Amino acid sequence: AQKVTQAQTEISVVEKEDVTLDCVYETRDTTYYLFWYKQPPSGELVFLIRRNSFDEQNEISGRYSWNFQKSTSSFNFTITASQVVDSAVYFCALNTGFQKLVFGTGTRLLVSP
């Protein structure tokens, strides 16, 4: 069975702090894709990144970076120098066969000025 665990329910930081959101996944499939989505207060889920199971290279996009480690089944997300606009709920998701996307329970990030 596929499962995604986001153990951090809510994180509060002050602007300009760095913050890491944890994601641990479970699957027996060898081919799979991992995703991060952002859900701002407006409610719409916004795609941030996709990573396939054969590519463990870390990725950086501006203030965002992602660390994928198959050895620990983790796909963590770091925001550097956080800003108030980063306040949202962040979801990690796993997609294996048949395109069924399984989401974690989300981490609510609150960035205060």
Partner 1 sequence: EAGVAQSPRYKIIEKRQSVAFWCNPISGHATLYWYQQILGQGPKLLIQFQNNGVVDDSQLPKDRFSAERLKGVDSTLKIQPAKLEDSAVYLCASSFPGLSYEQYFGPGTRLTVT
Residues that bind partner 1 (CB under 8 A): 4, 32-33, 35, 37, 42-47, 50, 52, 91, 93, 95-101, 103-106
Amino acid code (one letter) for 16: K
The DSSP symbol for 80 reads S
Task: Tell the smallest beta-carbon distance from residue 112 to partner 1 (Å).
Answer: 21
CB of 15 to partner 1, least distance (A): 25
Closest by CA position to 96, among listed 45, 31, 14, 40: 31
Give the shortest CB-110-to-partner 1 separation in angstroms.
15
Pairing of strands 107-112, 10-14: parallel
Q: Shortest gap between Cβ of 48 and partner 1 (angstroms)?
A: 9
Nearer to partner 1, 20 or 31 (CB): 31
Check residue 56 and report its DSSP letter.
Answer: -
**Chain centre distance of CA 34:** 8
Identify the burial level of 66 via C-beta atoms within 10 angstroms of its C-beta, where 0-12 means exposed, 13-18 middle and 19 or more buried.
buried
